[in-house]
Amino acid sequence: MERIDRFITNHSMYSRSIVKKLINAKRVYLNDEVVKKADIKINEDLDIVRIDDEVIKAQKYVYLILNKPTGYVSATKDGKDKTVLDLVPEKYKWRNLFPAGRLDKNTTGMMLITDDRSFCT
């Protein structure tokens, strides 16, 4: 069992302070009922947590497949070129993602982007 505010913070892009504001604004739902307190305990395997219409799911790791276009480097940061992480949808950018493997800047192809460090060791 985990507090609902911690659950949302751990599985979304929202900070604890934002989650508390969302709860106060009556935008957080637990099993279709408005959440009134941040310290409510939930069972992530059974309960359904929503912010407005967005369901927040427990997700240990993220695995994204993307088709890398030319002109992007296979890095997390680069001072002069765009990186493959610039192609990641906004809703995943809060996670500590990295490319699993490399393709040259002028090469296109499929790439795996993940936050699962054990996947690449």
CATH number of the domain residue 77 falls in: 3.30.70.580
Query: Is the full-model pTM beyond 0.75?
Result: no
Mean pLDDT, rounded, of the chain: 93
CATH number at residue 18: 3.10.290.10
45 is a catalytic site residue: no
- Which has more confidence, 11 or 37? 37
Q: Return the exposure string of 16-48: e unless at least 16 CB atoms fall within 10 Å of the residue's CB, then b.
A: eeebbebbeeeebbbeeeebeebebebebeebe
The C-alpha atoms of residue 98 and residue 109 are separated, in whole angstroms, by 16
Residues 5, 81, 104, 115: which is the catalytic one? 104
Map residue 53 onto helix, strand or coil.
coil
Indicate if 48 and 16 belong to the same structural domain: yes
Q: Nearest 5 degrees, angle CA 82-CA 85-CA 87?
A: 80
Domain of residue 32, residue span: 2-56
In this prediction, residues 31-42 reach a mean pLDDT of 97
Q: Please tell me the predicted confidence (pLDDT) of residue 121.
A: 62
Give the tens place of pLDDT for each residue, 74-121: 999 999 999 999 999 888 888 889 999 999 999 999 999 999 988 776
- If one counts the domains in the chain, the total is 2
